[in-house]
Chain A
């Protein structure tokens, strides 16, 4: 009996060995894609660009050159090809490459502006279906073409994809992962937003004109369904983040009169919570944002004395007003000009009043969205004022 079991076990294990090794690939047999770029060409075809890491250029790098030449060196190599579908192009690219294309480490998906405007739906399926793709990749829209962004030679990192990934992680600007994008796209009553990236000079001023040496997230692309309908600069874009409760960090600067010397007070946001209340009154949708925030004063160029309660309250009030203004301005823009529900107001209505949503609102949401009344109520508190309460006053 025991010997039969043993024989069976050995046979079983050997048979598994026969089927094995089929997905085995050594590290020096794969081409590691670190960023994927997608463009719609003028002839209607799709262009796929891949930023492939060259392992040879990584490591300690002591053998490489020094100084400026080393700063400019990139460990990436961009390949691109056009075709009808991503798989189709992958096949074409594969013919040109000695190593097998390996998508699993692609952390950024960059979509060219033209493709975004015409609708991204045709390219989404690959990233959802293919086993090597990662749903946690970040998505970004390039203001020019995706290929341009991939071709960028970064300074800090050896790969452009690393630069983008790190910038996305800083939380200063919105970051959208592919899975969030898909979820938003497939949910009712909310439209996706995606950060836009473009080239930027790293220095400000005359000398840096036309010198492009950095890529940065500079704003937001607003989508309606799968089509990009508008761009927003970062300042305005942050208004959206307030509404959708994605503000994590931020500095708000206000102007104060002061006693003798006017100046600026900058406060840093410490903790922000945004609660949204949805109500239907007389058939009209009212949304109330209740914002609770704590902030720290970290710069005061006026001579206002932060020791005094009324001054603190004054600053507090001004900060609240500044935030309110930003949100209302943003709202006017989104509701009035672009008319796409990136706030997810529809979703809030759906959650609160599911029956009415299906009966009355769902079909006509595009008409109704601009008419929604938004109220903002802010409860702020300045809790710290830095290392000193004194105001710097030169001796007269």
Chain B
């Protein structure tokens, strides 16, 4: 890291001299120990010498000969020779003929630091003897995977494309959905060393007022060596630095990003990661999936309520079990109580220890399932079923009832459309169990109250996290707890955008044609 910084210092403010050997020495010095840098010197019959400097692998070297060297040799230099021009004319001629080079992008630079940066990004630098500037020809080639279905957000119905690591591919996916100049994509660069491209995408006419300025302001204050994933950005620009809840949405789905942009939100795409960020976000986003809009509205509404219920279960179900079975036995119906009591008869631990133990084991199983190589993944499920299931119960270490509770909670914690939202709830259920174990139902409600106060305090880019429930906004409830049919959702959410909020005409409800 220190070496890199000093290299930066060395080549700062140094300009290209036009003496080939000196310039190349500079480059060699700054790219000391960089074995992937390729120097390719050449000399033409005319006596002109030059060098091409590029990064191996980033440049499509099959095209170098054809696109750069060939035109130089046959075109420009032959002309120069024939007309017998001076060195100063060479420069203007070269500039003129840059257009003839069939590359994506061609530019000239004379600052050594900028040239080095450009080489690292995959440009090919053309040094010419006697020319105090460098031509940078973009013949980039990058290794990236094809667009495929996102692994974290599956859908039965709906587009199957997902973002990839390549930023340009990702912006294309958005542009194809919204082919309008209204879709703006502002680029910023973050990371001293990584120089990661960050694109802020939004619709100019509907974006929440002040949002893009705020995002740009927050991103511009980031000063970090490298950005490896969009979460770096998320964590550095979030409103509440210590909260467990994600205040910026992330997604791999271009359709989700497009929908958010259409609502007046802004998306932040980061190079080298398939996860785009969406801001602002509200708590209702955690019960919605894009698929809600690709299927019948009643089904979607039912699924949303199911998700709400399961969210809540994932948070408090084990703690309710602990509270009821250690403090409030009178609240359990007699027969159920007796069944629970009979299953707990042999168990040596108090309910709270039992619950924490099994929940932790379950989380461990989940984590192991993610981290393990696929080849041994099956072993985890077999061992896990034994540990959490039959054997533990038969050995009398845990009660059968608790196994049911843990399994149900496990299922409930997997319905979260957002993985990181799910993680927040998954983690929070442990303090809830502790609260329930020490204070009973009172503890659960105390915990829920603290959580509610915390949620009320949260803001995502100035938007209250509990919108549109608190502050209540009636019109927006139509698309938060329920999903009304598309022809009824005439407006954009008011907590994001009030001015240009109409999405469609009012009379779009399909009806059979009137009888004649």
Contacts and interface: CB of A to CB of B under 8 A. Distances in A.
Interface string A1-40: 0000000000000001100110111111010101000000
Contact of B334 (A25, A57, A107): A107
B39 interface: no
Contact of B351 (A23, A27, A59): A27
B344 A55 contact: yes
Contacts of B344: 26-28, 55
A21 B334 contact: no
Contact of A102 (B329, B343, B347, B446): B329
Interface string B448-468: 000000000000000000000
A132 interface: yes
Q: From DSSP, what is the main secondary structure of chain B's interface residues?
A: helix
Contacts of B446: 16
A56 B341 CA distance: 8
A34 B329 CA distance: 13
Given A24-B326, A24-B327, A134-B330, A59 B347 contact: no
A23 B330 CA distance: 13
B94 interface: no
Interface in B334-351: 334-335, 337-345, 347, 350-351
Contacts of A53: 338, 341
B439 interface: yes
B330 A32 contact: no
B438 interface: yes
A90 B257 CA distance: 67
Interface in A255-292: none
B258 interface: no
A58 B399 CA distance: 14
B330 A55 contact: no
Interface string A67-85: 0000000010000000000
A26 B338 contact: no
Nearest to A134: B330
B330 A132 contact: yes
Nearest to A161: B334
Contacts of B439: 16-17, 20
Interface string A93-125: 000000000101101000000000000000000
A118 to B, nearest CB: 31
A347 B338 CA distance: 42
Given A17-B438, A20-B439, A59-B339, A28 B345 contact: yes
B325 interface: yes
B346 to A, nearest CB: 9
B438 A26 contact: no
A59 B438 contact: no
Contacts of A25: 326-327, 329
Contacts of B337: 27, 32, 105
B343 A23 contact: no
7 contacts: A24-B326, A26-B350, A30-B329, A32-B341, A55-B341, A55-B342, A162-B334
Given A27-B329, A32-B338, A56-B342, 14 more contacts: A16-B439, A17-B439, A20-B438, A20-B443, A23-B327, A24-B440, A25-B327, A26-B325, A26-B344, A28-B345, A58-B342, A59-B343, A105-B334, A162-B335
